[in-house]
Amino acid sequence: MSLAQLSKAVLRSPAQVAASLPALMGFTPAESVVVIMTKSGEIEVTMRIDLPEDWVQAAHHISDTAARIGVDGAILAVCAECVSGWRTHSQGVSLCIELLTETGVYVTDALLIRGNRYWSFLGDDHASAGSAFFPEDSPLPQPPEASREQVAARFAPRPAQIPSQAVYSAAAGHLGGPCQESCLRAREALQGLSEHQRGGVRHGADLLRATVQLAVQSVTVRDWLLASIVADADQRALAEALADVALTATGDLAPRACGAAAAALAATCASTIPASCLIDRAGDDSLAQVTHQAISNGINPEQIRQMLAGALPALDEAIRKEETHDDPAN
Protein backbone atom coordinates (compact mmCIF):
# COMPACT_ATOMS: atom_id res chain seq x y z
CA MET A 1 0.00 0.00 0.00
CA SER A 2 1.31 3.43 -0.93
CA LEU A 3 1.87 6.29 1.51
CA ALA A 4 -1.02 8.15 -0.11
CA GLN A 5 -3.33 5.19 0.49
CA LEU A 6 -2.19 4.96 4.11
CA SER A 7 -3.00 8.62 4.68
CA LYS A 8 -6.53 8.16 3.35
CA ALA A 9 -7.24 5.04 5.39
CA VAL A 10 -10.30 5.42 7.62
CA LEU A 11 -10.21 3.63 10.98
CA ARG A 12 -13.80 3.37 12.12
CA SER A 13 -13.50 1.40 15.36
CA PRO A 14 -11.07 0.66 18.19
CA ALA A 15 -10.61 -2.87 16.80
CA GLN A 16 -9.57 -1.43 13.44
CA VAL A 17 -7.15 0.93 15.16
CA ALA A 18 -5.55 -1.85 17.19
CA ALA A 19 -5.32 -4.20 14.21
CA SER A 20 -3.90 -1.51 11.91
CA LEU A 21 -0.92 -0.49 14.04
CA PRO A 22 1.46 -2.99 12.36
CA ALA A 23 0.53 -1.64 8.91
CA LEU A 24 0.92 1.97 10.04
CA MET A 25 4.27 1.36 11.73
CA GLY A 26 5.70 -1.31 9.43
CA PHE A 27 6.00 -3.72 12.38
CA THR A 28 4.05 -4.76 15.45
CA PRO A 29 4.80 -2.16 18.15
CA ALA A 30 5.62 -3.48 21.62
CA GLU A 31 6.15 -1.58 24.87
CA SER A 32 5.34 1.59 22.96
CA VAL A 33 3.06 4.58 22.78
CA VAL A 34 1.73 5.07 19.26
CA VAL A 35 -0.03 8.30 18.28
CA ILE A 36 -2.02 8.42 15.05
CA MET A 37 -2.30 12.11 14.17
CA THR A 38 -4.95 13.25 11.71
CA LYS A 39 -5.85 16.41 9.85
CA SER A 40 -9.31 16.88 8.38
CA GLY A 41 -9.94 13.18 8.92
CA GLU A 42 -6.84 11.95 7.05
CA ILE A 43 -3.81 10.38 8.72
CA GLU A 44 -1.02 12.96 8.72
CA VAL A 45 1.67 11.09 10.64
CA THR A 46 1.99 8.12 12.98
CA MET A 47 4.59 8.56 15.69
CA ARG A 48 5.94 6.04 18.18
CA ILE A 49 7.92 6.42 21.39
CA ASP A 50 9.09 3.85 23.92
CA LEU A 51 6.80 3.42 26.91
CA PRO A 52 7.84 6.38 29.05
CA GLU A 53 8.98 6.34 32.63
CA ASP A 54 8.37 10.08 32.70
CA TRP A 55 4.90 10.66 31.26
CA VAL A 56 5.10 14.41 31.84
CA GLN A 57 8.00 14.76 29.42
CA ALA A 58 6.43 12.31 26.97
CA ALA A 59 3.05 14.06 27.01
CA HIS A 60 4.66 17.44 26.33
CA HIS A 61 6.71 15.92 23.49
CA ILE A 62 3.59 14.43 21.88
CA SER A 63 1.53 17.61 22.22
CA ASP A 64 4.40 19.82 20.99
CA THR A 65 4.82 17.56 17.95
CA ALA A 66 1.08 17.70 17.20
CA ALA A 67 1.11 21.50 17.46
CA ARG A 68 4.16 21.81 15.23
CA ILE A 69 2.63 19.61 12.52
CA GLY A 70 -0.73 21.35 12.79
CA VAL A 71 -3.00 18.32 13.16
CA ASP A 72 -6.52 18.50 14.59
CA GLY A 73 -7.15 14.91 15.70
CA ALA A 74 -5.32 12.04 17.41
CA ILE A 75 -5.73 8.47 18.59
CA LEU A 76 -3.44 7.19 21.34
CA ALA A 77 -2.46 3.54 21.71
CA VAL A 78 -0.44 2.28 24.68
CA CYS A 79 1.01 -1.11 23.76
CA ALA A 80 2.04 -2.77 27.03
CA GLU A 81 2.17 -6.43 27.99
CA CYS A 82 2.31 -5.71 31.73
CA VAL A 83 -0.98 -6.60 33.44
CA SER A 84 -0.73 -3.39 35.46
CA GLY A 85 -0.63 -1.31 32.29
CA TRP A 86 -3.84 0.56 33.07
CA ARG A 87 -2.77 1.56 36.56
CA THR A 88 0.77 2.42 35.39
CA HIS A 89 -0.20 4.59 32.44
CA SER A 90 -3.71 5.97 32.98
CA GLN A 91 -2.58 9.23 34.61
CA GLY A 92 0.01 9.82 31.92
CA VAL A 93 -2.54 9.19 29.19
CA SER A 94 -4.93 11.64 30.87
CA LEU A 95 -2.21 14.30 30.95
CA CYS A 96 -1.43 13.67 27.28
CA ILE A 97 -5.09 14.05 26.33
CA GLU A 98 -5.30 17.26 28.36
CA LEU A 99 -2.26 18.79 26.66
CA LEU A 100 -3.42 17.74 23.19
CA THR A 101 -6.85 19.24 23.84
CA GLU A 102 -5.23 22.52 24.91
CA THR A 103 -3.44 22.66 21.52
CA GLY A 104 -6.72 22.17 19.66
CA VAL A 105 -6.31 18.45 18.98
CA TYR A 106 -9.38 16.29 19.57
CA VAL A 107 -8.48 12.84 20.93
CA THR A 108 -10.87 10.34 19.37
CA ASP A 109 -9.79 7.45 21.58
CA ALA A 110 -6.98 6.25 23.83
CA LEU A 111 -6.40 2.52 23.91
CA LEU A 112 -4.47 0.11 26.06
CA ILE A 113 -3.41 -2.84 23.92
CA ARG A 114 -2.16 -6.12 25.36
CA GLY A 115 -1.83 -9.15 23.14
CA ASN A 116 -4.92 -9.29 20.95
CA ARG A 117 -7.15 -7.39 23.37
CA TYR A 118 -7.76 -3.70 23.94
CA TRP A 119 -9.33 -1.41 26.52
CA SER A 120 -10.29 2.24 26.10
CA PHE A 121 -8.95 4.69 28.66
CA LEU A 122 -11.95 6.86 27.80
CA GLY A 123 -14.66 4.57 29.05
CA ASP A 124 -13.90 0.90 29.56
CA ASP A 125 -13.76 -0.77 32.93
CA HIS A 126 -10.10 -1.60 33.41
CA ALA A 127 -11.06 -4.66 35.44
CA SER A 128 -12.93 -6.15 32.49
CA ALA A 129 -11.52 -8.71 30.09
CA GLY A 130 -11.29 -6.09 27.36
CA SER A 131 -12.28 -6.61 23.74
CA ALA A 132 -10.62 -8.90 21.23
CA PHE A 133 -9.28 -7.80 17.86
CA PHE A 134 -7.82 -9.80 14.99
CA PRO A 135 -5.47 -9.03 12.05
CA GLU A 136 -8.39 -9.22 9.62
CA ASP A 137 -10.05 -6.30 11.44
CA SER A 138 -7.51 -4.00 9.79
CA PRO A 139 -8.49 -2.35 6.50
CA LEU A 140 -4.76 -2.20 5.70
CA PRO A 141 -2.47 -5.04 4.52
CA GLN A 142 -0.18 -6.43 7.21
CA PRO A 143 3.61 -5.94 6.90
CA PRO A 144 5.89 -8.94 6.32
CA GLU A 145 7.96 -8.30 9.48
CA ALA A 146 6.35 -9.01 12.82
CA SER A 147 8.65 -6.95 15.05
CA ARG A 148 10.82 -3.86 15.13
CA GLU A 149 13.86 -6.12 15.44
CA GLN A 150 12.96 -7.96 12.22
CA VAL A 151 12.69 -4.66 10.35
CA ALA A 152 16.06 -3.55 11.73
CA ALA A 153 17.64 -6.89 10.74
CA ARG A 154 16.62 -6.28 7.12
CA PHE A 155 18.61 -3.02 7.18
CA ALA A 156 21.74 -4.37 8.85
CA PRO A 157 25.21 -4.04 7.22
CA ARG A 158 26.05 -6.60 4.52
CA PRO A 159 29.84 -7.09 4.72
CA ALA A 160 29.77 -10.16 2.47
CA GLN A 161 28.60 -7.96 -0.43
CA ILE A 162 31.21 -5.17 -0.13
CA PRO A 163 32.72 -4.62 -3.61
CA SER A 164 36.38 -5.50 -4.17
CA GLN A 165 39.05 -2.92 -4.84
CA ALA A 166 39.15 -4.01 -8.47
CA VAL A 167 35.43 -3.33 -8.78
CA TYR A 168 35.85 0.13 -7.22
CA SER A 169 38.60 0.89 -9.74
CA ALA A 170 36.31 -0.12 -12.59
CA ALA A 171 33.46 1.97 -11.18
CA ALA A 172 35.71 5.03 -10.81
CA GLY A 173 36.50 4.80 -14.49
CA HIS A 174 32.81 5.31 -15.26
CA LEU A 175 32.58 8.53 -13.24
CA GLY A 176 35.40 10.72 -14.49
CA GLY A 177 33.28 12.92 -16.76
CA PRO A 178 31.09 16.01 -16.22
CA CYS A 179 28.71 16.23 -13.27
CA GLN A 180 25.61 15.62 -15.38
CA GLU A 181 27.16 12.47 -16.78
CA SER A 182 27.95 11.24 -13.26
CA CYS A 183 24.34 11.92 -12.24
CA LEU A 184 23.00 9.88 -15.14
CA ARG A 185 25.46 7.03 -14.59
CA ALA A 186 24.52 6.89 -10.89
CA ARG A 187 20.84 6.82 -11.78
CA GLU A 188 21.38 4.09 -14.41
CA ALA A 189 23.37 2.01 -11.91
CA LEU A 190 20.71 2.39 -9.22
CA GLN A 191 17.96 1.49 -11.67
CA GLY A 192 19.97 -1.57 -12.72
CA LEU A 193 20.46 -2.62 -9.11
CA SER A 194 16.73 -2.27 -8.45
CA GLU A 195 16.01 -4.50 -11.42
CA HIS A 196 18.58 -7.02 -10.16
CA GLN A 197 16.83 -7.12 -6.80
CA ARG A 198 13.40 -7.70 -8.27
CA GLY A 199 14.68 -10.37 -10.63
CA GLY A 200 16.78 -12.13 -8.03
CA VAL A 201 19.84 -11.89 -10.33
CA ARG A 202 23.04 -10.86 -8.53
CA HIS A 203 25.63 -11.01 -11.34
CA GLY A 204 27.17 -7.58 -11.80
CA ALA A 205 25.44 -6.06 -8.77
CA ASP A 206 28.77 -5.29 -7.09
CA LEU A 207 29.79 -2.92 -9.92
CA LEU A 208 26.42 -1.18 -9.73
CA ARG A 209 26.75 -0.74 -5.96
CA ALA A 210 30.30 0.60 -6.24
CA THR A 211 29.27 3.07 -8.96
CA VAL A 212 26.54 4.58 -6.81
CA GLN A 213 28.67 4.55 -3.65
CA LEU A 214 31.38 6.58 -5.40
CA ALA A 215 28.93 8.87 -7.20
CA VAL A 216 27.05 10.02 -4.10
CA GLN A 217 30.27 11.27 -2.51
CA SER A 218 29.55 14.36 -4.63
CA VAL A 219 26.86 16.35 -2.80
CA THR A 220 25.46 17.60 -6.11
CA VAL A 221 25.17 14.08 -7.53
CA ARG A 222 23.71 12.81 -4.26
CA ASP A 223 21.06 15.52 -4.11
CA TRP A 224 20.17 15.12 -7.79
CA LEU A 225 19.88 11.35 -7.38
CA LEU A 226 17.60 11.72 -4.36
CA ALA A 227 15.38 14.22 -6.14
CA SER A 228 15.10 11.91 -9.15
CA ILE A 229 14.29 8.92 -6.94
CA VAL A 230 11.38 10.54 -5.09
CA ALA A 231 9.98 11.97 -8.32
CA ASP A 232 9.83 8.46 -9.83
CA ALA A 233 6.72 6.28 -9.81
CA ASP A 234 8.93 3.42 -8.57
CA GLN A 235 10.39 5.48 -5.74
CA ARG A 236 10.13 2.84 -3.00
CA ALA A 237 12.00 0.20 -5.00
CA LEU A 238 14.72 2.73 -5.85
CA ALA A 239 15.00 3.75 -2.19
CA GLU A 240 15.41 0.09 -1.23
CA ALA A 241 18.14 -0.25 -3.86
CA LEU A 242 19.91 2.82 -2.44
CA ALA A 243 19.71 1.22 1.02
CA ASP A 244 21.41 -1.85 -0.45
CA VAL A 245 24.14 0.44 -1.82
CA ALA A 246 24.64 2.03 1.60
CA LEU A 247 24.64 -1.23 3.55
CA THR A 248 27.45 -2.60 1.38
CA ALA A 249 29.58 0.55 1.64
CA THR A 250 32.56 0.66 3.94
CA GLY A 251 35.13 3.09 5.27
CA ASP A 252 34.89 6.70 4.13
CA LEU A 253 32.22 5.83 1.56
CA ALA A 254 29.66 4.68 4.14
CA PRO A 255 28.57 7.94 5.87
CA ARG A 256 27.44 9.81 2.77
CA ALA A 257 25.87 6.71 1.19
CA CYS A 258 24.00 5.96 4.43
CA GLY A 259 22.86 9.56 4.75
CA ALA A 260 21.47 9.50 1.22
CA ALA A 261 19.70 6.18 1.81
CA ALA A 262 18.24 7.43 5.10
CA ALA A 263 16.71 10.45 3.34
CA ALA A 264 15.29 8.28 0.55
CA LEU A 265 13.73 5.83 3.02
CA ALA A 266 12.33 8.63 5.19
CA ALA A 267 10.60 10.02 2.09
CA THR A 268 9.17 6.73 0.82
CA CYS A 269 8.53 4.48 3.83
CA ALA A 270 5.72 4.77 6.37
CA SER A 271 7.91 3.31 9.13
CA THR A 272 10.82 5.37 10.45
CA ILE A 273 12.82 2.28 11.45
CA PRO A 274 14.57 1.73 8.08
CA ALA A 275 15.72 5.36 7.90
CA SER A 276 16.84 5.24 11.54
CA CYS A 277 18.97 2.15 10.85
CA LEU A 278 20.81 4.04 8.11
CA ILE A 279 21.13 7.18 10.24
CA ASP A 280 22.85 5.10 12.91
CA ARG A 281 25.52 4.11 10.35
CA ALA A 282 25.96 7.57 8.84
CA GLY A 283 28.15 9.08 11.56
CA ASP A 284 28.21 12.87 11.35
CA ASP A 285 26.89 13.08 7.78
CA SER A 286 24.93 16.32 7.56
CA LEU A 287 22.05 14.93 5.50
CA ALA A 288 21.59 12.09 7.99
CA GLN A 289 21.40 14.64 10.80
CA VAL A 290 18.81 16.70 8.91
CA THR A 291 16.78 13.56 8.23
CA HIS A 292 16.95 12.57 11.90
CA GLN A 293 15.71 16.02 12.89
CA ALA A 294 12.86 15.81 10.40
CA ILE A 295 11.75 12.43 11.75
CA SER A 296 12.05 13.63 15.35
CA ASN A 297 9.89 16.66 14.54
CA GLY A 298 7.15 14.48 13.09
CA ILE A 299 7.58 15.61 9.49
CA ASN A 300 5.75 12.99 7.44
CA PRO A 301 7.19 11.10 4.44
CA GLU A 302 5.18 13.06 1.88
CA GLN A 303 6.57 16.36 3.18
CA ILE A 304 10.12 14.99 3.05
CA ARG A 305 9.47 13.69 -0.48
CA GLN A 306 8.22 17.10 -1.60
CA MET A 307 11.30 18.83 -0.17
CA LEU A 308 13.67 16.46 -1.96
CA ALA A 309 11.75 16.50 -5.27
CA GLY A 310 11.36 20.27 -5.15
CA ALA A 311 15.13 20.69 -5.37
CA LEU A 312 15.39 19.02 -8.79
CA PRO A 313 14.85 22.11 -11.04
CA ALA A 314 17.46 24.12 -9.12
CA LEU A 315 19.90 21.20 -9.24
CA ASP A 316 19.42 20.79 -12.98
CA GLU A 317 20.08 24.51 -13.47
CA ALA A 318 23.18 24.46 -11.23
CA ILE A 319 24.59 21.46 -13.11
CA ARG A 320 23.91 23.15 -16.46
CA LYS A 321 25.66 26.36 -15.36
CA GLU A 322 28.61 24.44 -13.95
CA GLU A 323 29.14 22.60 -17.20
CA THR A 324 28.72 25.76 -19.26
CA HIS A 325 31.35 27.45 -17.11
CA ASP A 326 33.73 24.51 -17.49
CA ASP A 327 33.28 24.33 -21.27
CA PRO A 328 36.43 25.82 -22.92
CA ALA A 329 34.31 27.04 -25.84
CA ASN A 330 32.51 29.50 -23.52
Average pLDDT over residues 46-72: 92
Percent of the chain at pLDDT > 70 equals: 91
Answer for the pair 222, 255: CB distance below 8 angstroms, yes or no.
no
Mean pLDDT of the region 126-142? 82
**Domains plus CATH for the chain?**
3-141 (3.40.140.10), 155-326 (no CATH)
251 CB neighbour count, 10 Å cutoff: 7
Mean pLDDT on 107-131: 87
pLDDT for the residue numbered 37: 92
- Give the pLDDT band (50/70/90) at residue 41: confident
Instruction: State the pLDDT at residue 203.
Output: 62
Kindly state the percentage of the chain with pLDDT values over 90: 55
Strand ordering across the sheet containing 42-50: 42-50, 32-39, 73-79, 106-114, 117-120, 131-132
Q: What is the pLDDT at residue 149?
A: 83
Per-residue pLDDT tens for 259-301? 999 999 999 887 788 999 999 999 999 999 999 998 887 788 8
Asked whether residue 108 carries a pLDDT value surpassing 90, the answer given is yes
Identify the pLDDT of residue 239: 94
At residue 264, the pLDDT reads: 96
pTM: 0.73
pLDDT of the residue at 329: 46
Cα–Cα dist 216/76, whole Å: 40
Stretch 147-167: mean pLDDT: 89
Beta-carbon neighbour count of residue 181 at 10 Å? Answer: 15
Q: Looking at per-residue confidence, does 131 or 177 come out higher?
A: 131
Question: What rounded mean pLDDT belongs to the chain?
Answer: 87
* pLDDT score at 330: 42
Pairing of strands 106-114, 73-79: parallel
271 contacts 292 by C-beta, under 8 angstroms: no
When pLDDT is averaged across residues 208-221 and rounded to a whole number, the result is: 95
